[in-house]
Amino acid sequence: MKKLSLFTALLVLSLSSNLLAEKSEVRISKQYGLAYLPLIVLEEHKLIEKHAKATGLGDVKTEWVTFGGGATANDAILSGSVDLISGGIAPFVRLWDKTNGKVKALAVLDESPIILNTSNPKVKTVRDFTDKDRIALPAVKVSIQSLVLQIAVAKEFGIKNYDKLDHLTVAFKHPDALIAITSGKSEITGHFANEPFATIEKQNPNIHQVLNSYEVFGGKHTGNLLSTHENFYKNNPKLASAIIDALNEADEWIKGHKKEAAELYLKVTKSNESLELIEKILNNPDINYTTKPLPNITVFSDFLFDTGAIKTKPADWKELFFEKIY
């Protein structure tokens, strides 16, 4: 009887240990542009592996995938093909609403403006776009670029006409949109770009800036986020903390090593831009790498609620984040 009890106890202990064991492999998505530089640093410097080992998790393997927009990333996490996704606020808030808050942000990636450029000399403001124009952005209606455009249009034409220019938008990856708008041979006359694509485009004398998202919001705003499902967060508390710690280290490294960070970005992305240009962008005071959100993040969710894009309106920014970040 005693032997059976001992066997039962050992079996329960073994099962409990397996249930409590955290993942030894994590899959994360990133996208194009300098907004995702912290994730590049994580990957190249093996920072998640470093911090996971420091928390006693042993050897954790990290798998990275690159998506062209937030809609694809949202589909990936819902299907379970990745554990964490990165992307702009707009697709994230929609996903938070769609999953009844089961997907939340683990951390912020950056604060950075989004720039709407055009090759059409007649376009000075959003009022000047016509049916002859086409505006490239990562995802139609879903991306943060699409949302900022809608907010800018609502300010010009009224909230009832917020989607007045939506029919002009087309989905392009940022690198493809850069080629299209600078070639002069495409129907694309506008590109709502993040960095470094926005600055690269403005090197072309035929392209000028129409608006800056900081101008639309009257100040800085959170740019992109790293988010995950509550199942991953609850089942992997040490790993979740290790990822945040890794991001904080990456942010500090970027701030103290701008030239090296620019070199790393160019090496990984195989971009042809000059080191001086990328370094100049990283020194732009409007760009900040941080894991902490700005409270005005709810401006995005409020607008989505007011226009019927989401059913639930978060009371404050904390509803959108897992508690480890605050």
CATH code of the domain in which 55 resides: 3.40.190.10
pLDDT band at residue 5 under the 50/70/90 scheme:
low
Residue 10 lies in a domain: no
What is the model's pTM? 0.87
Beta sheet of 115-118, edge-to-edge order: 169-171, 135-137, 190-193, 115-118, 208-212
d(C-alpha 118, C-alpha 125), whole Å:
10
Which of 24-38, 62-76, 103-117 bottoms out in mean pLDDT, i.e. has the lowest? 62-76
Environment class of 33 (CB within 10 Å of its CB; exposed 0-12, middle 13-18, buried 19+) = buried
Q: Are 57 and 45 in contact (CB under 8 A)?
A: no
- Taking alpha carbons only, the member of 35, 45, 30 closest to residue 250 is 45
* Predicted local confidence at residue 83, as pLDDT: 97
Secondary structure letter of residue 246 according to DSSP: H
Residue 291 lies in a domain: yes
Question: Which three-class secondary structure string do you get for 175-203?
Answer: HHHHHHHHHCCCCCCEEEECCCHHHHHCC
pLDDT band at residue 116 under the 50/70/90 scheme:
very high
- What value does the mean pLDDT take over residues 215-226? 94
pLDDT of residue 140 exceeding 50, the answer is yes
Task: Let me know whether 69 and 211 are in one domain.
Answer: no
Task: Let me know whether 141 and 262 are in one domain.
Answer: no
Task: Let me know whether 190 and 207 are in one domain.
Answer: yes
271 vs 321, which has greater pLDDT?
Answer: 321
Chain Cα centroid distance, residue 113? 13
pLDDT of residue 289 exceeding 60, the answer is yes
Task: Let me know whether 245 and 310 are in one domain.
Answer: yes
Q: Identify the domain boundary among 191, 217, 243.
A: 217
Q: Identify the domain boundary among 197, 217, 237.
A: 217
pLDDT of residue 19 exceeding 70, the answer is no
What tens digit of pLDDT does each residue of 231-247 get? Answer: 999 999 999 999 999 99
d(C-alpha 242, C-alpha 54), whole Å:
8
* Predicted local confidence at residue 69, as pLDDT: 77
Residue 66 lies in a domain: yes
d(C-alpha 251, C-alpha 151), whole Å:
30
Chain Cα centroid distance, residue 55? 26
CA angle 216, 109, 295 (to 5 degrees): 50
pLDDT band at residue 72 under the 50/70/90 scheme:
confident
- Taking alpha carbons only, the member of 192, 30, 190, 37 closest to residue 111 is 37
Residue 4 lies in a domain: no
Residue 52 lies in a domain: yes
Task: Let me know whether 148 and 229 are in one domain.
Answer: no
Residue 19 lies in a domain: no
Q: Identify the domain boundary among 217, 240, 260.
A: 217
* Predicted local confidence at residue 94, as pLDDT: 95
Query: Which domain does 202 fall in, by range?
Result: 115-217
Task: Let me know whether 212 and 121 are in one domain.
Answer: yes
Task: Let me know whether 162 and 179 are in one domain.
Answer: yes
What tens digit of pLDDT does each residue of 182-193 get? Answer: 998 899 999 999
What tens digit of pLDDT does each residue of 242-268 get? Answer: 999 999 999 999 999 999 999 999 999
Task: Let me know whether 123 and 191 are in one domain.
Answer: yes
Percent with pLDDT over 70 in the chain: 94
Task: Let me know whether 88 and 230 are in one domain.
Answer: yes
Tokens representing 315 are 């009371």
Task: Let me know whether 108 and 230 are in one domain.
Answer: yes
Task: Let me know whether 234 and 93 are in one domain.
Answer: yes
Task: Let me know whether 230 and 297 are in one domain.
Answer: yes
Residue 12 lies in a domain: no
* Predicted local confidence at residue 20, as pLDDT: 60
pLDDT of residue 17 exceeding 60, the answer is no
- The total domain count for the chain is 2
Residue 258 lies in a domain: yes
pLDDT of residue 14 exceeding 70, the answer is no
pLDDT band at residue 121 under the 50/70/90 scheme:
very high
